Each structure stands twice: as C-alpha cells, then as structure tokens.
Structure 1
Amino acid sequence: MSDVNRRGLLRGAAAVAGGAVLGGPFLGFVARDAAGAAGRRPRPRPTLEAVPDLRDGKVRLWLPDGFRYRSFHDTEFPVTLDDGTALPGRHDGMGAFPGPGGTVRLVRNHEVGGPIPAFGNPAEAYDPMAPGGTTTVEVTRFGEVRRSWTSLNGTMMNCSGGRMPWGSWITCEETVNGPDVGSDYTGAPNVPLTKRHGFVFEVPADGRSDRQPVTAAGRFCHESVAYDPRGGHLYLTEDNFGYASGFYRYTPPTDPMRTGRLADGGRLQMLAVRGRPNRDLAATQRRHATYPVEWVDIDDPAPSFPYTPGQPAPTPNDTALTHVARQGWAQGAAYFSRLEGAVYDDGVVYFTATQGGGPAETSVGPIADGYGNGHGQVWAYDCRSQVLRLVYESPGPDVLDFPDNVTTSPRGTLVVCEDNTSDNFIRGLTPRGELFDIALNRLTSSTGADRSNDEFAGSTFSPDGHTLFVNIQASRGMTFAIWGDWARIGV
C-alpha cells in the first residue's frame, strides 16, 4: 500500500471520529461522535491510483479505479483563444452551464494581479491596466475543447464566484487595489490603475460581461458568492488573509430571477450572532455548534479614497481592506477565518473557512501568516431559519487541510478543494458525515519539477452530473474534466 493510501485510511478514521459534523435539517447531514461512529461502519471507499491523462498519457492525477480524465488549456505552453487572446494562467473559480449541441460551457476566473496591461482587447477592458478576468470555453463532457473566448477583462485577482440560476456567472475580485489605495502586500504601486477594484461582476454564460461592477455588493476581498432564489439574497464570502473575515449578503433592488441580471443599488449586510456581539467563529467550536444570526447594515459598501492622479495614494491598503468589515464589527458582526468557497443547495449556503478551527487570535489582525490557527471549517447557513451551523471542523492536516472551493454533487455530497503547501486533494464530505478522497494532484512540470502542492480550484459539475470540471490554480494553470461512476463512490 502506498503512503498516499495509508494517509487516506488515517484520514477516513479521523474524519469520522475526530471531526465535528453538522446536525439538523441540512441536506441530511447528521451529528456523529466517536461512540456513534464506532457502532456504524462508514461506507467503504476506493483508494486512489495513478491514472494517465487522455490528452497525452502523462499521469497528472490519482483517482478511484475506473475513473478517467482529460486536461485542457494548459498554460505551461502558450494557448491562444479563438478571439486571438493569449490565455492567462491562474485558473480559479468556475461555473458550468449547458452549451449548444450537448456541450458544456465553462466560465472560468483567472486570478492575476498587479498593475500590468489587461489581456484581450484593451478597448473593452474595465481597467486597461488590470490583468485578471474570465474566459469562457465550450467543451464536450470528455474535456474536448470546441471554442473559447474572453468574456471579461480588465479586472484584478478574480478568485472565485458563483453560478447563478438565471444563467450567469458572478466573478469576484479578491483585492481592494485602485489608484486611490496604497500598495498591497506585493509592494507594487497602484498608480497605473485607472479604476477602483474589489467588486463583483456579472458574466452571462452565453456571452461577454458589460464590464460594470455591482458596487453596492461591497468593495472588499471578495472570494465567492451563492444566490438563494427563495429569499432573493446573494451571499458573499470574504478572504481577508491577514484580518478577520466576514460573511455578507446583498439584496438587489430587483429580482434577478425575473430580470435575468444582478442589479446594482441594493443593500449590503454582514452576519452577526444574535446576542453575542463579535463572536469569534474562527476559533475552535464546540461539537455541533449552532448559532441564530442577525444581519447588520453596511452604510458605506463601496468607498472611494482621496488621491491625486499620478501620485501614490495616502490611504494604506490595510485601511481599505477593512473599511467595510469595520462597519460591521462596530455593530457586533462575527469574526471568521479566511472565508473562501460557497455554494447554495436546497435552502442552505455551505461555505468554507480555510484556517478556521484553531486557538483564538488575540486581535482582528493583521496576522502575518493568515488570520486563523486551524486547518479548516465547513459552515452551513439555513437561509429560511437564519441559523448557522458547523458542518465540519478539521482535527488536523492529515484529515482536511485548508479547504477552499466547494460545490455539491447531484447526490448532496460536498466536494471540497484543498489549498495547502503539501499534497492537495479533492475531498468528498457525505450527508452521513464521512470524509474521503476523490482526487490527488500528482503534477510535474515539463522539466520534472514537483507541482503536487499546486491547489485545486473551481470544482463544478456539468449540468447532467456526468463530469466534474476542476482547475489547477497556478501561474501555469490547466483545467481537468473527470468522469466515472460517481454513485459508486458516494459522490
């Protein structure tokens, strides 16, 4: 048995006995403790094995027996889209939509930062000196590319986002850079930028974005979004690396299920635990932690700061990073650790806290190695009852290490991408509370360098549930189409 499979068995045992799992009406997730797990054996899961890529026969992933995959849009070498654009790397969040002729249309983020020229046509760019955005690609269920184009350019650090039920992708900027803000952690001056950043943008699945941000949904380090069509709220996560992060909701002024678009000018709010102001939810939680919540208003969701064109802005980046959150904290909003992936499923929004679950921090930041001392949490918010519950809290890095993007399978299993500095897996968390491995990154570069610590991102199922599409988020990014008997392994 390989070391990888031994680790997988250890993870499976610890996941059942050590992780805190949600109780209540959340898609059948049930509370389980060590004694309960001992009397109820988990479903057997297949081990992972090396599988060659159907693109070229090279092993890039380990998967369960019988599964296959094909990679595409690998930017280790130049890739040109059909509109003549050089495909950028840093493939990140992604949504899958029905395409023509039985294809799947993928709208894919590119988390590229720095004040450098935009990819694609600069005349169409939101900011011609911002290099992020989205590309759209039509593929078969087996990862064969049919066509591709630039669907949004001139944005920055497009991290994740969310698939909207009216047929759009909402892409999120994970930055607050702009000409009115000082340099961020990279030290690069923001003087060349022409627009404020830190917003969400809508990208229709069948075309191109109008390049107009939804500013009322906030200017902060956005990560992902999930829309509740029953309540009419867009839920938003914040990944503020060095500071506490917030969980938000945006109520648009018109119903996008009727208009087919997310309108600007609505109301932004931030989650607070009812009766427990500034509750630290980044710290280790009690088993089956449950919190009734309320929402506090953010009066200035899209700040502009004074500056002189051509000169460094006097407002420090850290001040801009926390401007929105501090309004919520002043009213008792809760503290989370690095909120990343989010997905809506049957009245519940599931979201991950990448470094949640450890000893409490002594302040809201800045924290040099990231806010939060744990290895990850998965939370669930019941939109109707307004109750927040802990789904899972990792007992250690061998079980679940830094959960990031998340989606749900047709059978209700949460599919979680890891983002750590060691082996990165795609995990499954079943409605019975069992955590298991779906895929393992075994990438190497063309020169033989180890790339097994490149993170998975953008997991999304094809509309028919046949194929799991997922990205490798790295400067030399790529996308995978993975298929097999998902029901057999409980996904």
Structure 2
Amino acid sequence: MSPSPEPSAVGAAVSRRKFLGGVAAGAGIVLVGGCRAVFGAEASAGVGPLLTSDGLLDLPQGFRYRVLAEQGVTLLESGHVAPSDPDGAAAFPRRDGPGTVLVLNHEVGGNERYRVPHVGGLVYDPAAGGGTTTLVVDPDGTVVRHYVSLAGTEDNCAGGRTPWETWLSCEETENARDRRHGYVFEVDPFDEAANRDPKPIKALGRFAHEAVVVDPAEDVLYLTEDADEPHGCLYRWTAPADVRPLGRGSLRRLADDAGTLEALRASTDDGRHVPDLSEATDVGTTYRADWVPVPDRDAEQLSVRRQFRNDQITRGRKLEGMWWADDGAYVVSSYARTRDGSVHPHDGQVWYLDPRAGTLTLQLRFGVADETDVEPDGPDNITVSPHGGVIIAEDGRGAVHLLGATVTGETFFLARRNVAEDADEEFCGPVFSADGQSLFANLQGPGYTFMIRGPFDELSRTDGS
C-alpha cells in the first residue's frame, strides 16, 4: 500500500530533483542520478525513453511484452482460473528443455475474488486463500504448464530463492484462521511431490514476513518484516551446526526452535543506538549491525516485534524486498512518514547489509515525491540484473513503474503502467530468466504476469547510442 502525500515534509527530505546515490560493495553497483532528467523522457541508459502505447505497458523502443497469465481468466491445470494478486516470484531454468520455471506468490487475504484453488494434498489451512502457482514457459513465452504448488496459506507477499533452487514463500500476516499464519513455506519448482502436506518453517519465526535471502557461505537467512505499530524489524536466522550445510529439504525437517533468530540493532561509530532506519538522510551513512535474540519466535502471547523495547533494536517502516548479491543483502524500506512515528519522511531507501563487515549502508534514498504521477515512489521488490545494476518494482501513487539503475549510475524507467491516482495497482516480483534474455514481472490489481524481452544488453551502455 502506497503512502498518502505529506506536503509539509517535502522540504525536509532530499528532493527527487536532487536524488542522491552511492556505491554498493562488491561489484560496485552505483545508484545515482536525479529526477525526471534520469527518471523520465530524457533518460536513456542505453534503452531510450518509454514509448506510450495503447496496451497494458509502456516500454522503450525495441522492448515487447507478453501476458503469461491473468487472474480470473487464465486456466490452471486443475481447471480453476488463475488466482488474484500475483506478487513475489522466482525464476529457475527448466530441466526438461529450454525455458523457465516461475513460482509465483499470490497475496490473497480475505476479500480477493480469486483464491488459490485448494488442490488435494497442497493445502495448509482450509480457511485461507493464498499460496503459490507454478508456470513453466518456453523461451518465447509459450506456457507449457500452470498449476497450484501451495494452497491454504495467507497473504503470500514476497519471499526468496534459495541456493539449492527452491522458493521460500512468505506470509505477510499474523492472522489465525483454522491454523495460525505468519510463517515461511518452502516450494520446490521441480519436485511436485515435495510440496505435498505443506509445513510451515516455524524456526524462521511467526511475524508479518516480507522477504528472505540466504547467505550460502554461512547458512544464515535474513528476513524483513512489513509491519507497523510498532514498525517492523530486520531479522537474522542462523542454522544450527547439526543441519549444515543447508540444502534441499533441510528447512522442512527443522525443529520448530532450531537455530537462532535475532533482530537487528544498528548503531553509529560512536556507539549511539539508532532506533529507526528513517533517521538516515545521507547516502553512504553506515551503521554497525549487531543482533539481539528474539525471546519468543512463535509469538505465542505477543507479536515478535512487540517483544522488544525501542531502545533494544532498530525498526524500519515497511521493510520490503531483499536480494542477495555482492556477498550481502540489498534491503528495501518502501516509505516513511513522520506521522507514523518515523524520524524523517522518505519515499524509499535501499540499504546494503554486509555480513562480513557487520555493517549496514544506505545506498539509495528517495525524497518525498511530489503529487504528479511521474515521480517514482514506494520501491518494493528488488532484483539485481545480470546485465549490471538493479531493477526495482514501484508500489506508489498514480502510474507505477519498473525502475532501473545501471552499474555506471544512470537511472531509468524500464516499464510503466498508466493508472488513475487512486488505482490499487503495483509492480511486483521482477526476476530475470537464467539466460538474462527475459524479465518476468507481476502487476498486482488486475493480476497480470508478464514476460518482457528486448535489448537488455543495452542496459550496460550509457551513451544512449
């Protein structure tokens, strides 16, 4: 959900026209630029400006899209129609031929029209309507299969791909229906039998999960929480020695209290505790990252984030997508407002968590956008591009975009969906195919899943020629 405007705060944040960036660790992803000069008609980044179309998406010259699925219209193998609100996603190379296997979350809570069908053996809670579907597509976008891979979960928002090629689907809720929700579930894109009798990974905690990434070298998982009153936390789960190295099926076999779940505590160089990530206004701000054990990870009596005093841990408003790259985690905070208790307002932050250095660095900050539908706001899911740089899905007001930033610092629009100011639509789950030639993305609201193809190699060019 995007924020409402806060005009009085515009002057307090960096203007989009002075939008600042920094240099990421490792491969050196650069996120710099400013406003419409780069996020608008003049932007090139080698791909050129968006061309207005009469179709569903505006794309640069040479790019095209194909609709792979549409909620309520596309038929699944079970004979049911495709569920509502596709969200986070992961892409895997097919094993039985060329193409891609996509696992798609469906953020279905209670009011959506099309629930994830309750296919026998795949249902966790008969009272819940969320879950995942799996799409198998050829390189040209021809759909080979489309079927339910998890059902009876709730508000499956984002998640994360594992190094052993499975999808961790996260429930962004703390509701209890016939069963309790707020867990992470593992979905196998290749072995359908492995998805039967779904089991929540309770060791990863029960809270309003958003995304998760895996540090493959350390058998550590990092998880975001999209919550408020109070704001959510960034968590770290460390696997116990007797289950390392983690691999296919190992999370499903975990005891409910296995490993250690901790919440982030950030501090400045002089040791001052940072209570909220919105405090940072300068790109390049770096905090020390320490971790505080969670008392009751299953939240039997009290939500996990409410088990801490504000002086014990560090919170963030709407901690959203994450992506593992450059030996660390890129973490998105979608927006913040002073009226919700944040220190400074913004319309998006991207942080880089460096586990080896034990630091958290602000890489990108969106100032509070104006009230036009051109200014991007509300970054959500993020993916690191195989062509260099990053792609960010926008969940904001008015027109929504897939935003990009190249390794040399140019920022650009890659796709736009023109919608009314009050329309409830957002881009979700951008992810590239293994060969880097296709970008898959979901559009929540009307419920489309797209495959976008075009001269992605041009993203590495910066002269626009």
Instruction: Name the TM-score class by shorter chain.
Output: 0.7 to 0.9
For 1:229-286, what per-residue CA distance to the aligned partner results, in whole angstroms no more than 9, with x for missing partners? 0122111111104531211111233235445532532211111114333432123522
User: Could you tell me whether the CA contact under 8 Å between 2:266 and 2:313 is conserved in 1?
Assistant: yes
Hey, what does 2:237 align to over in structure 1?
A: 250
Hey, what does 1:379 align to over in structure 2?
A: 351
Distance 1:257 1:346 in 2: 20
Does 2:1 correspond to 1:19? no
Hey, what does 1:194 align to over in structure 2?
A: 178
Does 2:329 correspond to 1:349? yes
For 1:175-230, what per-residue CA distance to the aligned partner results, in whole angstroms no more than 9, with x for missing partners? 0000xxxxxxxxxxxxxx21100000000111342410011211111011111101
Deviation at 1:92, TM superposition (A): 0.4
Hey, what does 1:212 align to over in structure 2?
A: 199
Hey, what does 1:177 align to over in structure 2?
A: 175
Hey, what does 1:10 align to over in structure 2?
A: none
For 1:379-423, what per-residue CA distance to the aligned partner results, in whole angstroms no more than 9, with x for missing partners? 111121111111100124254300001101113311000001211
User: Could you tell me whether the CA contact under 8 Å between 2:100 and 2:433 is conserved in 1?
Assistant: yes
User: Could you tell me whether the CA contact under 8 Å between 1:361 and 1:372 is conserved in 2?
Assistant: no
Distance 1:140 1:251 in 2: 37
Q: SS at the partner of 1:349?
A: strand
Q: Check 1:363–1:394 CA distance in 2 against 1; reply closer, same or farther (3 A cut).
A: closer
Distance 1:30 1:328 in 2: 35
Hey, what does 2:318 align to over in structure 1?
A: 338
Hey, what does 1:119 align to over in structure 2?
A: 117
Q: How does 1:429-440 map to 2 (within 5 A)?
A: 429-440=405-416
Hey, what does 2:65 align to over in structure 1?
A: 69
Hey, what does 2:440 align to over in structure 1?
A: 469
Does 2:93 correspond to 1:98? yes
For 1:64-115, what per-residue CA distance to the aligned partner results, in whole angstroms no more than 9, with x for missing partners? 110111012112x433211333321110000000112112000000000129
Q: How does 1:451-462 map to 2 (within 5 A)?
A: 454-462=425-433
Hey, what does 1:80 align to over in structure 2?
A: 75
Q: SS at the partner of 1:246?
A: strand
Q: Check 1:465–1:328 CA distance in 2 against 1; reply closer, same or farther (3 A cut).
A: farther
Deviation at 1:337, TM superposition (A): 1.4
Distance 2:310 2:276 in 1: 14
Q: Check 1:127–1:16 CA distance in 2 against 1; reply closer, same or farther (3 A cut).
A: closer
Hey, what does 2:392 align to over in structure 1?
A: 416
What 5-or-longer segments of structure 1 have no aligned partner?
Answer: 1-13, 52-57, 179-192, 306-319, 365-370, 444-448
User: Could you tell me whether the CA contact under 8 Å between 2:322 and 2:329 is conserved in 1?
Assistant: yes
Hey, what does 2:51 align to over in structure 1?
A: 49
Q: Alignment partner for residue 293 of structure 1, among 289, 302, 305?
A: 289
Q: How does 1:472-483 map to 2 (within 5 A)?
A: 472-474=443-445, 476-483=446-453
For 1:114-137, what per-residue CA distance to the aligned partner results, in whole angstroms no more than 9, with x for missing partners? 299862226541000000000001
Q: SS at the partner of 1:59?
A: coil
What 5-or-longer segments of structure 2 have no aligned partner?
Answer: 1-13, 38-42
Q: Alignment partner for residue 240 of structure 1, among 227, 238, 241?
A: 227
User: Could you tell me whether the CA contact under 8 Å between 2:118 and 2:126 is conserved in 1?
Assistant: no
Distance 1:202 1:245 in 2: 23
For 1:142-163, what per-residue CA distance to the aligned partner results, in whole angstroms no more than 9, with x for missing partners? 3211011110000000001111
User: Could you tell me whether the CA contact under 8 Å between 1:270 and 1:328 is conserved in 2?
Assistant: no
- Taking only aligned residues, the RMSD between alpha carbons, in angstroms, comes to 2.9
Between the aligned residues of both structures, percent identity stands at 36
Q: SS at the partner of 1:326?
A: helix
User: Could you tell me whether the CA contact under 8 Å between 1:166 and 1:260 is conserved in 2?
Assistant: no
Q: Check 1:129–1:361 CA distance in 2 against 1; reply closer, same or farther (3 A cut).
A: same
User: Could you tell me whether the CA contact under 8 Å between 1:20 and 1:288 is conserved in 2?
Assistant: no
Give the letter aligned to residue 462 of structure 1.
Answer: S
Hey, what does 1:133 align to over in structure 2?
A: 131
Give the letter aligned to residue 260 of structure 2.
Answer: R
Distance 1:158 1:31 in 2: 29
Q: Check 1:128–1:260 CA distance in 2 against 1; reply closer, same or farther (3 A cut).
A: closer
Give the letter aligned to residue 440 of structure 1.
Answer: R
Q: Check 1:327–1:144 CA distance in 2 against 1; reply closer, same or farther (3 A cut).
A: same
For 1:17-41, what per-residue CA distance to the aligned partner results, in whole angstroms no more than 9, with x for missing partners? 622323463431358699xx9xxx9
Deviation at 1:470, TM superposition (A): 0.2
Distance 1:200 1:373 in 2: 30
Hey, what does 2:10 align to over in structure 1?
A: none
Q: Alignment partner for residue 360 of structure 2, among 388, 398, 402?
A: 388
Distance 1:289 1:382 in 2: 13
Distance 1:124 1:482 in 2: 30
User: Could you tell me whether the CA contact under 8 Å between 1:85 and 1:150 is conserved in 2?
Assistant: no
Distance 2:220 2:128 in 1: 29
Q: Alignment partner for residue 304 of structure 1, among 293, 296, 300?
A: 300
User: Could you tell me whether the CA contact under 8 Å between 2:425 and 2:444 is conserved in 1?
Assistant: yes
The higher relative CO (CA closer than 8 Å, separation ≥ 6) is in: 2
Q: Check 1:231–1:60 CA distance in 2 against 1; reply closer, same or farther (3 A cut).
A: same
